[in-house]
Chain A
Amino acid sequence: MNQFSLKHFIVRSQALALYRDVMRTVMKIEDQDYRKEIREWARSEFHRNRSLRDLGEIRTQVALGRRSLNELKLAMQMAS
């Protein structure tokens, strides 16, 4: 039985898209130390959850990540 269905493929693409948006946002951070910190934080979060296989859990994590990214963007806007 094929463990990785189309739904998995879609959800994986969404997770990668989120990671891409996070990295693009991180590149806009001026402060090099802060940039490194946020990048390490994002990496650790994604790597921590990389072995998840349940679709519901993955979707929840991606949604949480999206929310965190929005908060980061807001914080950057307010800082500039």
Chain B
Amino acid sequence: MLKTILRHGCRLRSVVNMRLSAPLCNNIHTLTPSNVQANGQIWPHVFVSRRTRMLDQFVKDAGQMRTPPPLTPRDIESRVLRICNEYDKIQEANKNKITLETHFMNDLGLDSLDHVEIIVALENEFGFEIPDADYDKLYTVGNVVDYLIKKMNVTDRPKTTVSSAPDPRYDDHHH
């Protein structure tokens, strides 16, 4: 009988030790108002703090699904220039001299097939399909940027939206 108690007692103790792991066991003896339920039942702080920790993490994870910051015309221009510079058929000499006035065929020596490739790369970058009929309007970099600005309704002053700044309330747990 005694042996059984000791054996089961040891097992229980290991469970209790698992729960009272290092970060939690220093809270075990505190009783705060949050511990106390309405009917007077008291939860050990260790369980309450663990639950609020999980909730904090949950809220913080939800906050990670932030809206991307609003686009500005300068963003669009820089992304278009980046895609053009990444295109492998452009000579090295021309690469960093691409401006808004650059004409794909006349200045960069590309042909209609290359032009298609560049516009498809831009479709991929900005995430929407450009109709076939519009390809004929997009022979210079400036035309491309203006077209994208118009299609994506980008304005100079970004509209105030839900801020993507981190919420300081949930940042006390650092990664």
Contacts and interface: CB of A to CB of B under 8 A. Distances in A.
- Residue of B120, B123, B132, B135 with highest tally of chain A CB at under 10 A: B120
Nearest to B114: A43
A17 interface: yes
A16 B112 contact: yes
- Residue of A20, A24, A46, A50 with highest tally of chain B CB at under 10 A: A20
Interface of A: 16-17, 19-20, 23-24, 27, 43, 46-47, 50
B155 interface: no
B113 interface: yes
A23 B117 contact: yes
Contact of A19 (B113, B121, B123, B129): B113
Given A17-B132, A20-B132, A27 B124 contact: yes
B116 interface: yes
Interface in B32-50: none
Contacts of A23: 116-117, 120
B120 A20 contact: yes
A78 B97 CA distance: 43
